[in-house]
Amino acid sequence: MQTHESDLCIVGGGISAALISQKLSELAPDATVTVIEAGDRFFDLRARSRNRRRWLDYRENAWPGDFIEDQEADGIISRTMAVGGSALHWGGVCNRFSREDLELHSRYGLAVDWPIEWAEFERYTCEAERRLGVQGEEAPYPEDRPSTPYPMPAMPLSYNLQQLKGWAEKSGIRFQGTPEAKNTVPYDGRSVCMRCNTCTVCPTGARYSPDFTFRKLLDEGRLTLHDRTLIRKLIPDESGSRIVAARGLHRDRPDEEVEYRAPIFAIASGYVWSSHLLLLSASARFPDGLANRSGLVGRYLTGHSFVSAIMETDTRLYPGMMSHSLVSREFFRCPSDRPFVRHDLRVWENEYGQGPRLRDDSGSVLLGDDLLEDWRSRTRRGIARVRAYYDVHPARDSALTLDPNRRNRYGDPLPRVEHHLDEPTRAREAATREHILGVFGRLADDRAILDTQYSTYLDHPCGGCRMGTDPSESVCDSFGRTHDHENLFVVGASTLPTGGCTNGTLTFSALTLRSAEEIGRDLGWKPAETELPLSRSEGP
Amino acid sequence: MTRRFLVRWALSLLAVAPFARVRLFAQVRSLDEVDRATLGAVAKVALPSPLGDEGVETVVQGFLRWIGGYRAGAEMSPGYGVPRLRRTPDLDISSYRPQLQALREGTDRGDSAAVNARIQDSLEAAGIEALPSRPDGRHVVADLLSYYLGSSEARDLCYQAAIRRHTCPGLAGMDERPAPLGSA
């Protein structure tokens, strides 16, 4: 068996692994860090342009090979398994959670409070914005203003978004450009946004993705990266209180087991695969898996539901200028003496019902100039897509379990993911939707709402190893350190007790950066001795 | 490696095997000069006139290149929240040749009204109700239109403005109404 040793072994190679590795390279520069990722690495920036072209022309995968074909779950998950993870092709949206997200129980008697104070959490959010390179404009609501300004100027609102903002604010609701990890100036060695309008595969690197962080750390010799290596089991010591090894295989040499030994392990495998690995690590001593004395590993999977609508506006738009949007945070806060409802509100340009068509309303074939004129006639009024992500809370049986009937090529049972909402969430569902439709009505004014859709799944899924102070009610503490194993951390999306009402990546990143400091302390970092880089203008 | 996995692996290999691409290549090659001339003449009627002869020819050549570059069985973009692998479907353009041959009459006389009528009849006969989102091999004219109308150039022509979607024009000027076509 091949054995590798380091001071920190990180299982999973997504955004959390990238940020921990980067921060520890500053806090504990002598520490050795190994990142193990089951998927491949995609570091060739030139290939992005070629793949982007194939994606635009043929709808081929913009990240070919970014998955493992039989490493799938039954349920909603991201398929991506690669160095960089889902953040290879995220949209870069960096909306913040709000104070209410951390205080749901104490304010409203709902779900649980997070075991972190808002003021402390907010500082890590600012740090995440600096490390990811987030642009944003000053929020119209004072409660939403960050304690440290964004590290770069805001993205100018496109002509379309200016029109949409004027239209939407007639409702009395205030909007701003959505904060995003897209460079408006050269930043951290990456280019300024060129408005290629294909953020899922940004050909310039202006939209942050973790492969840049990994590449830089590798170039500087601060990281060991083992890709194509699937960890299948964590091994505890005889006392059971510590993890001594992670075992798996290289996908090119599946018959040869490989072992990683380290004094600290961090599971950074996202909301599905983190819980999956802990459950997969069951043994005679730990029949329910590791870190699972509470029986909560894989449970309280969460995210947010949504309602979206398509509506006419009062202005002409030119769709295709820029994939950017507006957001309102007016409904992040809910007075505690009113029925609980919290949601964000986003607005995009859209082309619903405005595409070219072969037949007119009477069924006659349209060709040449008739087709063009018909197309033009239907684009004279702008269309907006609006969407509200709303706050829902998970039930205990919102869970990931091991499916004995579905196994990968190595014989490991694959995850089955089922989302269930708690009783208070289900009880207020109708009222929540009615409220959101009322907000949409304010936006539409007297114009037509052309289509309305309701979510059938939870977006931005997270949870499964929720954090808390009570070991019987949570898997890990606020730093992600598991209650059962002192040197085992779970970081990022898995640790969230509740999923908020807006995109989660910035929050996952902030929590990860806080975990990195705790891991740094275990590795000998003393806060007073290290000056963390604080300049917001120079990048990480 | 289990037998079940071996079978799945073999089937996935078959799915991406180059047979379909070789056949597609042969089908494109089988379109002779007359067929291509017919396609050009048909395109002049099917596509908007502001393109002009040169623009139409550019679209036709681009369309044929698109067909030639198609890869059946390639991984598709997964879409949001879709955990299952999907692959591009087979593309069989064997119908193009007989369709073009049926459309040929009238094209040599430059009788655009006759060509228009023939195209309409041909689309009816093939049961084409709507444009495919991507060329799918069912009808050569529907596929040509689908190819062109999905382009950045077609959008600009529709809106009569230089939106330049997907052309990476930079941030400068994005806060202004796109310039009218031809003014830049």
B50-109 confidence digits (pLDDT tens):
999 999 999 999 999 999 999 999 999 876 666 678 899 999 999 999 999 999 987 877
Compute chain A's Rg from CA coordinates: 24
Q: Determine the residue of chain A that is closest to B77 in CA distance.
A: A61
Helix (H) or strand (E) holding A509: helix A505-522
Residue B9 confidence (pLDDT) above 90: no
Q: Which of A525, A101, A41, A37 is nearest to A277 (CA)?
A: A37
Angle subtended at Cα B43 by Cα B39 and Cα B44, rounded to the nearest 5 degrees: 125
Interface test with B, best of A66, A316, A318, A323 (most B CBs within 10 A): A318
Alpha helices in A28-117 (DSSP H): 45-58, 99-102, 104-108
Q: Where are the alpha helices (DSSP H) in A109-171?
A: 118-132, 159-168
Residue A180, SS3? strand
Q: What is the pLDDT of residue B139?
A: 98
Q: In this complex, is the C-beta atom of A235 within 8 Å of any C-beta atom belonging to chain B?
A: no
**Strand-pair category, A33-36 with A2-5:** unpaired
Taking CA atoms, what residue in B is nearest to A58?
A: B70
Q: Which residue of B has its CA nearest to A254?
A: B1
Judge: B175–A159 Cβ closer than 8 Å, yes or no.
yes
Instruction: Give me the residues paired with residue B75 across strands.
Output: B87
Nearest CB to A321; choose among B141, B158, B174: B174
Average pLDDT over residues A118-143: 96
Q: Closest Cα partner for A348 from A152, A157, A88, A172?
A: A157
pLDDT recorded at residue B84: 74
Residue B1 has pLDDT above 50, yes or no: no
Give chain A positions within 8 Å (CB) of B141.
Answer: 367
Nearest to B157 among A76, A357, A372 (CB): A372
User: A33-42, A341-350, A519-528, B140-149 — which is least confidently predicted?
Assistant: A519-528
Question: Percent of chain B scored above 90 by pLDDT?
Answer: 69
Say how far apart CA A297 and CA A464 lie, in whole Å: 6
List all residues of chain A from 337 to 356 with a beta carbon under 8 Å from chain B: 355-356
Residues of B in contact with A65 (CB under 8 A): 75
Q: Count of A–B CB contacts within 8 Å?
A: 158
| pLDDT reading at A380 higher than 80 | yes
- Which string of DSSP letters, residue by residue, matches B111-156? -HHHHHHHHHHHHHHTT--S--SS--SS-HHHHHHHHHHTSHHHHH
Angle of the B152-159 helix axis to the B140-149 helix axis, nearest 10 = 70
- Please tell me the least confidently modeled range out of A34-38, A228-232, B10-14, B118-122: B10-14
Strand order in the sheet with A2-5: A2-5, A253-261, A243-250, A229-236
Provide mean pLDDT across the span A163-191: 97
pLDDT tens for A64-109 read: 999 998 888 888 777 889 999 999 999 999 999 999 999 999 999 9
pLDDT at A531 over 80: no
CA dihedral A52, A56, A60, A62 (to 10 degrees): 30
Gap from A519 CA to chain B (nearest CA, Å): 32
As a whole number of Å, the end-to-end CA separation of chain B is 61
Tokens coding B133: 């989102």
Q: Is A434 helix (H, G, I), strand (E, B) or coil?
A: helix
pLDDT of B17 reads 53
A365·B48 Cβ contact <8 A:
no
Cα dist from A390 to A332, A432, A436, A501, B89, whole Å: 9, 8, 9, 5, 37
Put simply, the answer to whether A55 touches B77 (Cβ < 8 Å) is yes
User: What pLDDT score does B12 carry?
Assistant: 56
Alpha carbon separation from B151 to A56, A369, B155 (Å, rounded): 9, 17, 7
Contact A181, A130 (CB under 8 A): no
- The residue of A372, A400, A503 whose CB has the most chain B CBs within 10 angstroms, and thus the best one to mutate to test that interface, is A372
Measuring CA to CA, how many Å separate A257 from each of A83, A242, A247, A252? 21, 21, 7, 11
Q: Is A229 helix (H, G, I), strand (E, B) or coil?
A: strand
Question: Best interface-test mutation with B: which of A52, A68, A367 has the largest number of B CBs within 10 A?
Answer: A367
Question: Which of A65, A79, A204 is closest, CB to CB, to B78?
Answer: A79
CB contacts of B85 in chain A (<8 Å) are: 67, 69, 79
Q: What is the pLDDT of residues B141-156, one digit of tens each?
A: 999 999 999 999 999 9
Provide the whole-model pTM.
Answer: 0.93
Q: What is the mean pLDDT of residues A166-193?
A: 97
Q: What residue type is A319 in one-letter code?
A: P
In this predicted structure, the answer to whether residue A536 has a pLDDT above a threshold of 50 is no
Whether A318 sits inside 8 A of B166 (CB atoms) is: no
DSSP string, B44-62: HHHS-GGGHHHHHHHHHHH
Return the residue of B nearest to A407 by Cα.
Answer: B5
Residue with tokens 């203008």: A537
Question: Chain A: residue nearest B179 by CA?
Answer: A318
The model's confidence at residue A535, banded by pLDDT at 50, 70 and 90, is very low
What is the reported pLDDT for B30?
A: 77
Q: Across chain A, what does the average pLDDT equal?
A: 95
Contact A379 B158 (CB under 8 A): yes
| DSSP 3-state of A404 | strand
Q: Is the pLDDT of residue A370 over 50?
A: yes
Q: Determine whether the interchain pair A69/B81 forms a contact, defined as Cβ–Cβ distance below 8 Å.
A: no
Compute the distance between CA of residue A217 and CA of residue A33 in angstroms, rounded to an integer.
10
Closest by alpha carbon to A163, among A318, A385, A331, A310?
A318
Spatial separation of the C-alpha atoms in residues A345 and A331, rounded to whole Å: 8
Find the residue in B nearest to A365 (Cα): B120
Residue A429 tokens, joined: 């569902």
Helix (H, G, I), strand (E, B) or coil at B4: helix
All residues of chain B having their beta carbon less than 8 Å from the beta carbon of residue A321 are 163, 165, 174, 178
Q: What pLDDT shows up at residue B83? A: 65
Interface touch A372/B134, C-beta < 8 Å: no
Closest Cα in chain B to A65: B75
pLDDT number for residue B13: 52
| C-alpha to C-alpha distance for A84 and A35, rounded to whole angstroms | 11
- Residue whose C-alpha is closest to residue A154's, from A177, A175, A188, A125: A177
Q: State mean pLDDT over A164-188.
A: 97
Q: Do B48 and A318 touch (CB under 8 A)?
A: no
- Here the tokens at position A162 are 């200016």
User: Helices B33-46 and B52-69, interaxial angle, to 10°?
Assistant: 120
Chain A residues closer than 8 Å to B143 by CB? none
The Cβ of residue A340 has, within 10 Å, a number of other Cβ atoms equal to 20
Average pLDDT on A521-536 reads 70
How far apart, in whole angstroms, are the C-alpha atoms of residue A356 and residue A42?
36
Q: What is the CA radius of gyration of chain B?
A: 20
- Mean of pLDDT values over A490-516: 98
Q: What is the pLDDT of residues A15-73, one digit of tens each?
A: 999 999 999 999 999 999 999 999 999 999 999 999 999 999 999 999 999 999 888 88
Q: Does A366 touch chain B (CB under 8 A)?
A: no
Q: Which of B75, B85, B88 to mutate to test the interface with A (most CBs of A within 10 A)?
A: B75
pLDDT averaged over chain B? 88
CB contact (8 A) between residue B124 and residue A365 = yes
